[in-house]
Structure 1
Amino acid sequence: MAISADTARTVVGIIGNVISLFLFLSPVPTFVRIWKKKSVEQYSAVPYLATLVNCLVWTLYGLPMVHPGSILVVTINGSGTAIECAYIILFLIFCDKKKRLKVVLVVLLELIFIGVLTLLVLSLAHTHKKRSTVVGTICILFNIMMYASPLAVMKLVITTKSVEFMPFFLSFASLANGVAWTTYALIRFDPFITIPNGLGTLFGVAQLILYGTYYKSTQRLLAERKLNAKEVNLSEVVVADQEQHKKAANGHASQNH
């Protein structure tokens, strides 16, 4: 029995939703740490603010009045919007006043932007094709801006010859996410979903190639660091012992006098 294109697209879209949800939830350990320490420390709100506006634009794109038949785009990006809002609220609770003001201003700007975009698209573009083109183009631009993050990490890997700050499972999930959504977009061709997720797939492949290339050198660097830490600890113990012996010797000397 042949599977229809719509059924295949729905199945792939559900898989894409599950993988994307995993990616949205990947910063949870960071926020558990922030909650425990009652401080955002050196963490930046930029990734969460960038993801929030990205999710808002994609939610708009998937709405029936903009691009019909894209409910799975709405479900995952609607969920992503809620998750990013939770992250930002936690960030606001535990950051200082200066950071709090900046984050609140950026969120307000993002909400104004999405409000104005929605109003203009729905009132000035009167066909689904025009609305999809306008919102889809903005979606691609935001997605490309978000790819600056993997590029920065990849540069760090090449510079340090270490994959320590590029977790394997996150890179693998990014690749799986790109493949799932590119497949979803190709079943019933949608260039606005294909282009950014095609790029995401390429970046995912590049990250895994880097991981394979620098895995051994990373293990070597970590082993050297561990050894150095042991040597430092050992030298501290030796110095402490020497100081104790000196004190003991001085004590004996004073008693003799």
Structure 2
Amino acid sequence: MVDTGAIRTVIGVIGNVISFCLFMSPVPTFISIWKSKSVQNFKPDPYIATILNCGMWSIYGMPFVTEDNTLVVTINGFGFFLEIFYALIFFVYSTWSKRRKIILIFLGELVFLAVVIFLIMTFLHSAKQRKVIVGPICIVFNILMYFAPLTVMRQVIRTKSVKYMPFLLSFANFANGVIWTTYALLKWDPFIVIPNGIGTVSGLVQLILYAMYYRTTKWDEEIDSV
């Protein structure tokens, strides 16, 4: 008889590996930013959105909210600090107007996470109650993370160029959505299935756009981001 628990653990480990690759996929982008000492036309939106998403999923995976979700905590805890590092690089090489935006959003995210933890630990006294509150919040922010590249996708369609939509990030988003959807289906968890199912579609759309506009991309030209 198939042990779904063991299979789920294996899928979760694979999910951690793919999520690790997702978090590391922007490295070439940030090397380019570091070398040019400019963020160019790259956008910080996906990285800022992912900070809050990882923070919420780290809370969701804690034993005081859900059971048997250690693999959710480990990868999202890693992602939380890595995305902060990415945002810091954006901050260093951005103009002041963009720096101010990054600071305000980041501080707002930290305050939000602190408030959520305070409220659920103070007013909710069982893991089941906390899950019902934290789960829907996680769905919202996970969807925001997957759709943060919408601004980039719009730019791709307008300019017919994929220069500022990194392929590795798009592919990793797609694979990440697929594996975590599978993980949640093995032990039904709608709070993981819903956002990652949507993430699968979002990643697929990005890959389709990449295939459509790769040939028309002029890699040596600067593109107006307006």
Length-normalised TM-score, structure 2? 0.84
Per-residue CA deviation, residues 192-247 of structure 1 (Å, 9 max, x unaligned), is 000001111222334445555x26xx43x35xx69xx9xxxxxxxxxxxxxxxxxx
Show the counterpart of 1:178: 177
Range 137-146 or range 162-171, more displaced: 162-171
Show the counterpart of 1:9: 8
The alpha carbon displacement at 1:92 in A equals 2.9
Q: Which has the higher contact order (CA 8 A, sep 6+)?
A: 2
Show the counterpart of 1:139: 138
Contact 2:60 2:66 in 1 (8 A): yes
Identity between Structure 1 and Structure 2 (%): 51
- Rg larger for: 1
Show the counterpart of 1:232: none
Q: Distance in 2 between matches of 1:167 and 1:18?
A: 19
Show the counterpart of 1:235: none
Q: Measured at CA, do residues 134 and 155 of structure 1 come closer, stay the same or move farther in structure 2, by a change above 3 Å?
A: same
2:103 corresponds to 1:109:
no
Q: Distance in 2 between matches of 1:58 and 1:9?
A: 18
The alpha carbon displacement at 1:88 in A equals 2.1
Long gaps (5+) in structure 2 = 222-226
2:193 corresponds to 1:205:
no
Q: Measured at CA, do residues 154 and 93 of structure 1 come closer, stay the same or move farther in structure 2, by a change above 3 Å?
A: closer
The alpha carbon displacement at 1:57 in A equals 0.7
Q: Secondary structure at the match of 1:40?
A: coil
Code of the aligned partner of 1:102 = K
Q: Secondary structure at the match of 1:147?
A: helix
Aligned ranges 1:225-244 → 2 under 5 Å: none
Q: Measured at CA, do residues 35 and 152 of structure 1 come closer, stay the same or move farther in structure 2, by a change above 3 Å?
A: closer
Per-residue CA deviation, residues 63-122 of structure 1 (Å, 9 max, x unaligned), is 110111111110110010111121122233333444334322322221111001001011
Aligned ranges 1:1-257 → 2 under 5 Å: 2-156=1-155, 166-210=165-209, 214=212, 218-219=214-215, 221=216
The alpha carbon displacement at 1:14 in A equals 0.8
Q: Distance in 2 between matches of 1:158 and 1:97?
A: 28
Range 129-138 or range 198-207, more displaced: 198-207
Q: Distance in 2 between matches of 1:27 and 1:130?
A: 36
Q: Distance in 2 between matches of 1:176 and 1:6?
A: 21
Contact 2:143 2:199 in 1 (8 A): no
Give the number of aligned pairs: 220
Long gaps (5+) in structure 1 = 230-257
